[in-house]
Amino acid sequence: MRPISRAVLRPYVCPTCRHGIGAGQRRFASKSDPLDIYDVVCVGGGPAGLGLLAALRSSPITSKLKVALIESQDLNKAKAWNLEPTQFSNRVSSLTPSTVSFLREIGAYDHLDTSRVQDYQDMQVWDGQTGSRITFDWSMETSPFENPRTVATMTENANLVRALLRRIADSGDENLSLFSNSTVASIENGSDLAPQGPNLSAWPILTVKPTTPTETTAAPKRIAARLLVGADGINSPVRSFADIPTQGWDYGRHGIVATLALAEPASPPFPATKRTAYQRFLPALGGPIALLPLPNNHATLVWSTTPENAAYLKSLPTPAFLAMVNAAFRLDMTDLSYMLGLPSSSDSTSTSPSHQDELAWRAQHTSIPPQIPPPATAVQTGTVASFPLRFRHAAQYVSPRIALVGDAAHVIHPLAGQGLNLGLADVASLSKTIQYAVSHGMDVGDLLTLERYSCERYLPNAKIGGACDLLHKMYNVPGEGPITWARSLGLGVVDSLPFVKGFLMKNAEGY
Ligand SMILES: Cc1cc2nc3c(=O)[nH]c(=O)nc-3n(C[C@H](O)[C@H](O)[C@H](O)COP(=O)(O)OP(=O)(O)OC[C@H]3O[C@@H](n4cnc5c(N)ncnc54)[C@H](O)[C@@H]3O)c2cc1C
């Protein structure tokens, strides 16, 4: 973490609006324009930004603060999000028990549609090359017959965002401004503002523009923030304004996501309510494949692989795509590499056997362990998509009157399903920091106030992001060799040492 400097704020100008506001920027700093003043302005209405707003509104100490949130997407659409009970969004996250308890604490969990949420109690993780395996079975922690403990809770991001918006709406309109369909056109510090009123010389001044201007909303608004929070994702404008650099790299991998229907397991797991998440590392293919449970025998797929494999998999017709997913949990690396070279079966001139035939034939000659997911039988239309995977870590989370949370501060490999959990842990910490400041008469934007948040979150985020990065690198070494040996030893040893495993289980729970 680099030392925190006090004079780092630089004007931010949105690259896409540059032409529209160039000259106007000076005008925004003129003495005659009205300027709305807020205690906290949050840029970004994803899970982190909405989580912060819901947390501030739910605490009696901070509920009267004047707060604003700026989001370029349509928040009304997000609030009205609705899908058939048999359909699931492809953007799904696993929430750790500590995230769930934070959501309960701020009153947001009650607004989740829990019929669309799935707990799981067992996690099977294994190395597709060496076969070494680790089993995290929380159901044995208490009794195998009742109240199995939850490893994590799967929820669609859209369900979570809608719940947070409903929680915020419940808190009333007083002192709250939601700038939906609006973007931050520029951020400047208030150095050349009029001297009357409070001294805003060191406050960030934002110019907010509607993304689709209408006659009534076309005029940009200027707002001043005692504390400006960047919850604005990987390309954070707030981070640019604060001139906070990030370290990191692109993994050269894509995460393929899809919503799948699974066959009923031949014999239901015991106890019948127990659900399992599966992850198999595929060193020869560029990353792990994971299948995480959703209600009604559905599952969400996250398959990290090379961009070439991702493009190939996305180009396959549904039966071939399903065969590849099922093969990835069953066949060995050589068979999988071969199947990834088969022509797409949409090619009518091809005489090669289909992916389904190859899987059926090769599975007969493979020793398949029993702890694998039931076969995927269908893909929900329109849910196969992919995202580039990246690692980023901001050099610092705070500077005078600025705090970064969520993906604006850190982006990590999704193999442990921790990104959103870390973001909500940031939010829990920052909201407590703000509460502390308010109850002790401190300035919420002062660096001394904000350092409490930074100290609490920087190292835990670095630790988890670094561990995911290390796992990604270790499991990308195919073939025989010391790393492969260490890998198999690693999982094998961890699995046989209850105390070490217990420690890992606690970390996965987010405690
Ligand atoms: C394949 C994949 C699987 C994942 N699975 C998991 C998982 O299982 N568990 C987990 O914990 N995490 C998971 N993650 C990570 C998780 O999705 C992210 O960490 C999380 O969504 C980040 O939330 P956020 O609110 O910080 O940022 P975002 O969701 O990126 O939100 C940022 C918001 O800011 C807005 N914005 C940006 N710029 C501006 C601007 N100039 N003006 C106004 N608004 C702006 C954007 O519109 C957006 O709504 C996964 C990620 C991937 C890629």
Q: What pLDDT does residue 491 have?
A: 56
* CATH ID of 37-84+159-248+394-469, from 2.50.20.10, 3.30.1340.10, 3.50.50.60, 3.40.50.300: 3.50.50.60
Tell the residue nearest (CA) to atom 37 of ligand 1.
232
pLDDT band at 95 (very low <50, low <70, confident <90, very high): very high
The pLDDT of residue 353 is above 90: no
- pLDDT at residue 349 greater than cutoff 80: no
CA of 233 to the centre of ligand 1 (A): 6
DSSP-assigned letter for residue 61: T
Pairing of strands 276-282, 122-127: parallel
What H or E segment, with its residue span, contains residue 300? strand 298-305
Does 257 sit in the ligand 1 pocket, CB within 6 Å? Answer: yes
Among 7-16, 57-66, 218-227, the range with the most confident prediction by mean pLDDT is 57-66
The per-residue pLDDT for range 298-316, each reduced to its tens digit, is 999 999 999 999 999 999 9
CA of 34 to the centre of ligand 1 (A): 33
Give the model's pLDDT for residue 144.
46
Amino acid 262: pLDDT: 96
Q: From ligand 1's centre to the CA of 58, what distance in Å? A: 23
Measuring CA to CA, which residue among 506, 489, 328, 305 is closest to residue 415? 305
Using pLDDT thresholds of 50, 70 and 90, give the confidence band for residue 28. very low
**Residue 423 Cα to ligand 1 middle (Å):** 9
The CATH code of the domain at 118-153+251-387+488-509 is 3.30.9.10
Q: Atom 1, ligand 1: which residue's CA is nearest?
A: 255
* pLDDT value of residue 331: 96
* High-pLDDT (> 90) share of the chain, %: 67
Atom nearest to 51 CA in ligand 1: 25
- pLDDT tier for residue 508 given thresholds of 50, 70 and 90: low
Domain 118-153+251-387+488-509 in the same topology as domain 37-84+159-248+394-469:
no
The CB of 469 under 6 Å from ligand 1? The reply is no
What distances in angstroms separate CA 106 from CA 39, 40, 109, 420, 438, one per listed residue? 20, 18, 8, 17, 18
Half-sphere exposure of 284 (CA within 13 A, CB side): 16
CB contact set of 96 (below 8 Å; sequence gap of 6+)? 152, 418, 421, 508, 509, 510
For the stretch 30-42, pLDDT in tens is 444 678 999 999 9
Taking the centre of ligand 1 as the mean of its atom positions, its distance from the CA of residue 76, in whole angstroms, is: 18
Closest ligand 1 atom to residue 255 Cα is 1
- C-alpha 336 – ligand 1 centre gap (Å): 32
Q: Where are the domains of the chain?
A: 37-84+159-248+394-469, 118-153+251-387+488-509
Ligand 1 neighbourhood includes 240 CB (under 6 angstroms): no
The DSSP call for residue 153 is E
Residue 20's pLDDT is what?
A: 35
